[in-house]
Every structure is written in C-alpha cells, then in structure tokens.
Amino acid sequence: MTDRHGSHGPDHGLERLIFFSDAVFAIAITLLIIEVHVPELEGSATDAQWIAALFHLFPSFSAFALSFIVIGAIWTSHHATLSMLSQFDRSLIWPNMLMLMAIAFLPFSTALLSRGSLSIVPYVFYSASLLIAALLKTRLTLVALRPELISSGVPQQAVVVERRLAWVMPIVSAAAVILSAFVAQWGMLALLGIPIARRLPFFRRPDF
C-alpha cells in the first residue's frame, strides 16, 4: 500500500521505513564494541601487564573505529537520499531490507578484521562485505530517486549529485578488495578515497 492518500499524511509509511532502518543502523554500529573483548588478566596484574594487554587490542580498536565510520558514512548517505523523497512506495521495502542485511552483517566482518591475522583472507572478506553493502545502498538510491517519489522542493542538480555520490563507496570498496589481496590490512587505506572524493566539487551537494 502506498500511503499516497492515507490518513497519516503523505510520508507516514516513509517515516516508518526510515525509523526501522535507523534502528538497524544504530544497533549494528553499537554492537561493534561487543566484539572487543576485555583482556583476561588476574586481579593482581601489574600496570605494565594491563598496558601491554590494551596495546594488544590495537587491531580491535582500529577495526571498531573503521567500521563505525564506514557505517556512519552509509547512514549519512541513506539520510541524504531518503530526505529527498516525499512519497512512500512499496518498491523501497526490499531493496532497503537487503541493504540492512548487509549492514547487520558488518559486526561479523569487523570481528574477523580485528583478529589481526597474517592471512589476507579476513581483509579481503571484510572489504568484500563493505562492497556488497555499498552496492546494495547504490541499488536503493537508484530505486528511491525516481521522479514520481522525489519531493517537489528538491532541485534536479541535487538529485544528479546524489546519484553520482552513490557510486563512490562501491568503487572505493572494490579498490579495497583488490588492494587487500596484495597488501592485507593496508588495502583498507583505499577507504580514504571516500572523504577525499567527497571534497571534490564534482561530488558537492548543492544547498537548497
């Protein structure tokens, strides 16, 4: 059912979709910390042992921070895309649900990444799971930004930029997959492409 003429106003169905998505994003992003395990030290451990144990968690802390920022970036993009719509449409539900499935999967990939392995497999797996999440977000963007759903107050230029931006993360994640097959964790540096791209005028969102 579209809520086009429903009693809750034009965007009630859309609000519930956004609400449910925000809750999944928030849970996935907060669950990341569960995978960082407190060091198992005796009550009598010395300061030096505690400091060593916490330094040993460095891969876990950096995997937490990286995934928090990546999920935060996807949420930001989801927020920007869906705020352009004035209309709920049933065709949004499943592309959104599958994207959320990829987001909900990321705490697992992050836990894998935080093992600090010598093998390239966890790094390739992690960046591949980002690639899948990014592609599903791109698909949602393309399904959502249809003229009949877009709010009349949104200028055409903003829609064009939003569609362009939808390709930044898939391309950068694909680069991370390839790079990490050669240089393991250093492949993650490809993700710096996201903030860099966002600074280019080509990807600047117009104010409106």
Q: Among residues 125, 128, 30, 114, which one has the least CA distance to residue 75?
A: 30
Among 55, 147, 153, 199, which residue sits at the site for its own copies (rule: CB under 8 A)? 153
DSSP assigned state of 207:
P
Token pair 């117009």 is found at: 206
Task: Kindly indicate which of the ranges 25-33, 127-135, 140-148, 165-173 contains the residues binding its own copies, using the contact rule CB under 8 A.
Answer: 25-33
Q: Calculate the dihedral angle through the C-alpha atoms of 131, 134, 140, 142, rounding to the nearest 10 degrees.
A: -90
Binders of its own copies in range 70-89 (CB under 8 A): 72, 75-76, 79-80, 83-84, 86
- What is the closest distance, in whole angstroms, from the C-beta atom of residue 170 to its own copies in the complex? 21
Angle CA 110–75–155, to nearest 5: 150
Please say which residue, 151 or 156, places its beta carbon nearer to its own copies: 151
Task: Kindly indicate which of the ranges 26-34, 129-137, 139-147, 164-172 contains the residues binding its own copies, using the contact rule CB under 8 A.
Answer: 26-34
Q: What six digits make up the tokens of 63?
A: 């995997």
- What is the closest distance, in whole angstroms, from the C-beta atom of residue 167 to its own copies in the complex? 18
Question: Can you tell me the distance from the alpha carbon of 146 to that of 139, in angstroms, rounded to the nearest whole number?
Answer: 12
The reply on whether position 62 binds its own copies by CB under 8 A is: no
- What is the closest distance, in whole angstroms, from the C-beta atom of residue 80 to its own copies in the complex? 6
Among 56, 58, 91, 101, which residue sits at the site for its own copies (rule: CB under 8 A)? 101
